[in-house]
């Protein structure tokens, strides 16, 4: 569980308990926890690093997966927790919140999808495996918040032109391998900040050494956990399943037409040297998706517009709309903020999973033409109406829409890593040395 603690309240990692013996009072030193890293105004505790390492070990044991040294694991755990702390801090500034109800719904879905259990059964399973359900629960909350912060921050960096879409549509029609999905493993041997020529040479030598180890049969996931600078490091470099057009162009060019088990690289990019392995191949699954059509009015709070006032404005709008005294389209064009205002707030047809989680949940409970009372997302206050819902075969979506989503997903992966690196470069991060006496 992430603990954001203001530096003003950090004195030491020790507590002192006064013990009285007759007329003499002495202080007994009692160690509670240690600050392992300072991240802007937050900290990473040593107990958090230990807990994450322990959980990775338990998962690896269950999957019969070998692991690198404890030191390598601790380093990767520290990197993840630093990233989480940074993103949680940004989320706090953005107003991103995950309610207990949302959190319970998400965990219930995890229990159903991964273990076919109800929430109480899953809770008992977590307690038996990691000891604390509350820590697991808050860990999921952190993943939800950091995921939304990443999506909201990176989304604006992804630009897609009509020419790019047209080119991909043409390519998709010419390809014969659109029915194959690749399970991609990725290792990034990252450049240090502001690298010198000597740094570049040293990084290339490390990457070449990794490739030599892989060619002689070393375990890819073990090396990824020990050496990769990618956010997927603690997952053994596993990036999941992707169609050829869903992955970054670099990966697609390397793996297209190749066999499972093959490794490629190192290939240099702006972040470092990349090594890619095909962990598996499978036929593309037919997946049904539910798309929704909706429209909204967005009011963003500001210094001169309080949260309460923004919510009340939308409540008044809803009363007028239901009474027939105002038109949703007209109100959206006049008062809504954001790019949909000129369309009367129309968001068009979309997969709701791509929206802010709070927005997605609001739409899920509506009937066609029903309004949702004003609610807060990371973007501001919304008044939403669901205007349509349809079920599609995701493999048969229009070529243009599918091409757009494929390009977006591809660019998002790249921009996400760049954005995270820039965020870290701008932050104050100090990793404290461990006390060797312990």
- pLDDT tens-place string over residues 245-275: 778 888 888 898 888 999 999 999 988 999 9
Span(s) in the chain for CATH 3.10.50.40: 168-285+398-422, 288-395
Give residue for tokens 């450049």: 191
Q: What is the pLDDT of residues 31-59, one digit of tens each?
A: 567 999 999 999 999 999 998 998 889 88
- For the ranges 108-122, 164-178, 420-434, the one whose mean pLDDT is highest: 420-434
Residue range 288-395 forms a domain whose CATH class is alpha beta
pTM: 0.58
Q: So what's the pLDDT on residue 189?
A: 94
Lowest mean pLDDT among 20-29, 174-183, 259-268, 315-324: 20-29
Task: State residue 354 phi and psi, 5-degree precision.
Answer: -85, -5
Q: So what's the pLDDT on residue 325?
A: 95
Q: What is the mean pLDDT of residues 144-158?
A: 90
Please classify residue 7 by burial: count the beta carbons closer than 10 Å to its beta carbon, then call 0-12 exposed, 13-18 middle and 19+ buried.
exposed
Task: State residue 418 phi and psi, 5-degree precision.
Answer: -65, -45
Alpha-carbon distances, residue 63 vs 14, 19, 336 (angstroms): 38, 49, 50
**Does domain 168-285+398-422 correspond to CATH entry 2.120.10.30?**
no
Q: How many helices (H) and strands (E) does the chain have?
A: 13, 13
Alpha-carbon distances, residue 300 vs 36, 95, 129, 137, 376 (angstroms): 37, 11, 43, 30, 10
Percent of the chain whose pLDDT exceeds 90: 47
Quick one: residue 109, left, alpha or beta (phi over 0 = left, psi -120 to 50 = alpha)? Answer: alpha
Gap between the Cα atoms of 100 and 4, Å rounded: 19
Alpha-carbon distances, residue 372 vs 129, 147, 294, 382 (angstroms): 40, 24, 11, 9
Q: How many CB atoms lie within 10 A of CB 369?
A: 9
């Amino acid at each position: 569980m992430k603990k954001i603690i203001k530096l003003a309240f950090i004195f030491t990692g020790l507590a002192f308990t006064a013990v009285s013996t007759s007329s003499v009072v002495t202080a007994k030193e009692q160690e509670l926890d240690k600050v392992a890293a300072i991240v802007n105004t937050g900290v990473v505790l040593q107990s958090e690093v230990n807990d994450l390492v322990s959980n990775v070990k338990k998962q690896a044991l269950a999957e019969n997966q070998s692991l690198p040294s404890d030191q390598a694991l601790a380093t990767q755990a520290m990197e993840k927790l630093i990233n989480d702390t940074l993103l949680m801090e940004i989320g706090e500034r953005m107003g991103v919140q995950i309610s207990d109800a949302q959190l319970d719904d998400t965990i219930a879905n995890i229990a159903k999808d991964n273990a076919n259990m109800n929430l109480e059964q899953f809770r008992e399973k977590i307690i038996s495996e990691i000891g604390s359900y509350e820590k697991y629960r808050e860990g999921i909350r952190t993943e939800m918040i950091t995921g939304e912060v990443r999506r909201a921050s990176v989304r604006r960096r992804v630009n897609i032109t009509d020419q790019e879409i047209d080119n991909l549509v043409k390519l998709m029609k010419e390809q014969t391998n659109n029915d194959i999905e690749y399970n991609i493993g990725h290792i990034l041997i990252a450049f240090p900040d502001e690298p010198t020529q000597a740094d570049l040479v040293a990084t290339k030598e490390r990457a070449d050494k990794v490739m030599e180890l892989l060619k002689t049969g070393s375990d890819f996931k073990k090396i990824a956990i020990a050496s990769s600078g990618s956010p997927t490091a603690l997952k053994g470099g596993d990036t999941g399943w992707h169609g050829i057009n869903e992955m970054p162009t670099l990966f697609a060019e390397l793996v297209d037409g190749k066999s499972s088990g093959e490794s490629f690289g190192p290939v240099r990019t702006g972040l470092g040297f990349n090594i890619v392995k095909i962990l598996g191949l499978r036929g593309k699954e037919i997946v049904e998706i539910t798309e929704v059509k909706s429209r909204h009015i967005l009011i963003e709070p500001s210094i001169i517009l309080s949260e309460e006032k923004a919510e009340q404005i939308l409540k008044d709008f809803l009363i007028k709309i239901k009474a027939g005294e105002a038109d949703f389209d007209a109100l959206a064009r006049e008062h809504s903020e954001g790019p949909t205002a000129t369309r009367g707030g129309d968001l068009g047809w979309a997969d709701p999973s791509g929206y802010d989680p709070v927005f997605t949940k609001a739409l899920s409970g509506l009937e066609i033409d029903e309004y949702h009372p004003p609610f807060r997302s990371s973007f501001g206050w919304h008044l939403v109406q669901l205007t349509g819902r349809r079920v599609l075969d995701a493999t048969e979506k229009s070529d243009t829409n599918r091409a757009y989503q494929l390009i977006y997903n591809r660019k998002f992966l790249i921009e996400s890593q760049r954005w995270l690196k820039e965020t870290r470069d701008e932050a104050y991060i100090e990793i404290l040395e461990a006390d060797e006496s312990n």
